[in-house]
Structure formats: C-alpha cells, structure tokens
Amino acid sequence: MTNIRNRINVTVKSFATLREVMDAQIRMDLPEGATIRSLLAELTGRYEGLNELIFAAPDTLRDFINILKNGRNIHFLAGLDTPLDDRDLIALFPPVAGG
C-alpha cells in the first residue's frame, strides 16, 4: 500500500526585526524529508530581504541567529540539516541588540 501522505506541515514563527520582512506566523506545507535548510530556502524565496537578515554567506547563518525546532536550538541538533517532522514548531530569532 502506498503512503499517500508525502507532505508535512510545520508552523514558523518569527520574532523582532524578522517580522519586518515576513509574517509573524506562517504554516508551511513541505515534502517529507524537508530540513531546516530547505525550509529556509522556501522562506527566503518567498520573503524579499529575509536572506540578508538570516545568512552571512550561502549556507552560513549570521552570528547570533537562533533557530529553534520545538524549543531546541538547531545548533545542538544537526544544524541546517536538522530534519523536520509533521507539526513541528520552528522559531526564528534575529540577533538582539542591547544596551
């Protein structure tokens, strides 16, 4: 029997300055096997200016950008290659300026 569910749905939340270029929350329909890398490719293609806010160079996140999968920082998982699962919550945090 063929699995007819070859898609996953994830929710992406953005915070602070990232909200200036993208929605505060968006639901994404992605193929099974999607990763943080493929999610970011989809988002940066959809939202003008987002790529420059997230990446310092291709495949290199800017310093202090934090991406959480269900509350866990992807730096402690598999980085950009962290696999996504159905109903994951991805949070995007830009660098925070303080004073």
Is 5 among the domain residues? Answer: no
Strand, helix or coil at 65?
coil
Q: Which band of pLDDT confidence, cut at 50, 70 and 90, is reported for residue 96?
A: confident
Structural domain includes residue 38: yes
Domain range for 73: 15-93
The number of beta carbons lying within 10 Å of the beta carbon of residue 99 is 2
Q: Taking 60 as the threshold, does the pLDDT of residue 2 lie above it?
A: no
**Residue 1 reports pLDDT greater than 80:** no
Please report the sign of the dihedral spanned by the C-alpha atoms of residue 42, residue 7, residue 29, residue 17: negative
pLDDT of res. 95: 78
Look up the CATH number of the domain holding residue 75. 3.10.20.30
pLDDT digits (tens, 9 = 90+) for 4-60: 569 999 999 999 999 999 999 999 999 999 999 999 999 999 999 999 999 999 999
pTM: 0.91
In a domain, 1, yes or no: no
Number of domain units in the chain:
1
Q: What is the CA radius of gyration of the chain?
A: 14
**Separation of alpha carbons 41 and 57, rounded Å:** 13
Residue 67 has pLDDT above 60, yes or no: yes
Sign of the alpha-carbon torsion through 68, 70, 71, 76: negative
Whether residue 19 is contained in a domain is answered as: yes
13: β partners:
25, 91
pLDDT of res. 9: 98
In a domain, 20, yes or no: yes
Q: For tokens 């063929």, what's the residue?
A: 2
